[in-house]
């Protein structure tokens, strides 16, 4: 669903893994259901129709907050760089 996340050999993959290890950070995986939740949550709260990658970023944030990697009181920036309009064929239409 989030084609931008399916990168078989990312240019910065080794740098990303090193940054995770050096910072004692973490990475999480999210499901398609969680991605759709993220897209909808951003739309409802911010009025933006974001791409699935943006929904995945918010879903990942929710996961790390639930796992106590990030405190709810902390300020966090969630980046998204694409419009949901480019994914009309992949995103289900809202009914009702």
The 10s digit of each residue's pLDDT in 37-77 is 999 999 999 999 999 999 999 999 999 999 999 999 999 99
Q: What is the pTM of this model?
A: 0.82
How many C-beta atoms surround the C-beta of residue 42 within 10 A? 20
Residue 51 makes CB contacts below 8 A (sequence gap 6+) with 2, 4, 39, 80, 81, 82, 83, 84, 86, 87
User: For position 10, what pLDDT does the model report?
Assistant: 73
Residue 95's pLDDT band, with cuts at 50, 70 and 90, is low
**What pLDDT does 13 receive?**
83
User: How many angstroms separate the CA atoms of 32 and 52, rounded?
Assistant: 9
pLDDT recorded at residue 7: 74
Mean pLDDT of all residues belonging to the chain: 88
């Amino acid at each position: 669903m989030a084609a931008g996340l399916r990168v078989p050999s990312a240019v910065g993959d080794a740098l990303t893994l090193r940054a995770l290890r050096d910072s004692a950070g973490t990475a999480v995986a999210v499901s398609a259901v969680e991605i759709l939740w993220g897209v909808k949550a951003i739309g409802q709260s911010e009025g933006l129709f974001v791409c699935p990658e943006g929904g995945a970023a918010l879903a990942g944030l929710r996961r790390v907050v639930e796992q106590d990697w990030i405190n709810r009181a902390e300020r966090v920036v969630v980046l998204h760089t694409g419009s949901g309009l480019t994914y009309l064929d992949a995103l289900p239409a809202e009914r009702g």
